[in-house]
Amino acid sequence: MEQPERRRPGRPSLSNEELLDKALDLFLDKGFSGTSIDAICASAGMAKRTVYARYGDKESLFKAALSRAIDEWIVSVESLRAQESDDFEASLMRIGEMLVKNVLGPAGLRLLRLTNAESVAMPEIAQENVRHGTEPTLHYLADLFRRRLGDEGGEFPQAEDAAQAFLNIVVGGPANNAAWGMRMEMASIEHHTRYCVRLFLHGLLDEAGPPAKSEAGQLRRVLRDAEERLSEARARIDEAARLVRD
């Protein structure tokens, strides 16, 4: 019998994840307008008809690649929750440091600059970034503030505002600096995070009124520490003034 002709083994087709990774590398390097479907196909070793069959056009491919990258980059709620301890201020310090370092890491900086550059022409990119990357963190922080600063029923009306303020004060500054190409040394980042967490926390306590019983002792210790630091600062100012007069 005549044997059927065997098909030559073809090049294995990339998975969707691999295709999106290849596309993202080019988008990050060249921007949306500077990246062609031809270049993506060449990088992925894939026929144009296959790419179009999967995603339809370059914009859909770009959004899919960006969405995947954001999902992989964001700090999970589980990771944030793992930073909690009985010490509320120390917990906020660790959470703040984790978020800031994530934004200023290589993946965070590349995504930040890409989304900022393309959001003018495609505002839905910024909206997607907020939905995927920011909203879960805001929900977690609001829940944290309700649990730690709420009344016996867990009510804390300022929870959402406090969550947004925390991100703006602690994370927003370094992120904005990075978006404008300003570099911060690690020591400066750590100092910024510690200072802003304390600034945020003590301002929040003034707004929250009497803290929950479980936090009262700890917060009194924090306030005493702040008062001692203020006294030291005043003593240094007085000493400096005396030296100037002399």
Q: For residue range 22-37, list pLDDT tens digits in order.
A: 898 898 888 888 999 9
Q: Is the pLDDT of residue 168 over 50?
A: yes
Taking the whole predicted model, whether its pTM rises above 0.85 is answered as: no
The pLDDT assigned to 7 comes to 38
Which range, of 16-30, 96-110, 220-234, averages the lowest pLDDT? 220-234
Quickly state the pLDDT bin for 171 (edges 50, 70, 90).
Answer: confident
Q: Is the pLDDT of residue 6 over 50?
A: no
CA 34, chain centre distance (Å):
27
Type of residue numbered 14: L
178 or 168, which is more confident? 168
Percent of the chain, pLDDT > 70? 74
183 or 55, which is more confident? 55
> pLDDT for 103-142, tens place per residue?
888 788 788 778 777 777 787 777 777 677 788 899 999 9
Q: Is the pLDDT of residue 219 over 70?
A: no
CA–CA distance, 50 with 98 (Å, rounded to integer): 39
In the chain, what are the domains?
A: 16-70 (1.10.10.60), 75-245 (1.10.357)
Quickly state the pLDDT bin for 233 (edges 50, 70, 90).
Answer: low
φ, ψ for residue 145 (rounded to 5)?
Answer: -70, -35
Asked if 66 and 167 touch (Cβ cutoff 8 Å), the reply is no
CA–CA distance, 140 with 153 (Å, rounded to integer): 18
Asked if 62 and 55 touch (Cβ cutoff 8 Å), the reply is no
Residues 6+ apart with CB under 8 A from 217: none
The pLDDT assigned to 121 comes to 79
> pLDDT for 48-92, tens place per residue?
898 999 998 998 999 888 888 888 888 899 999 999 999 999 999
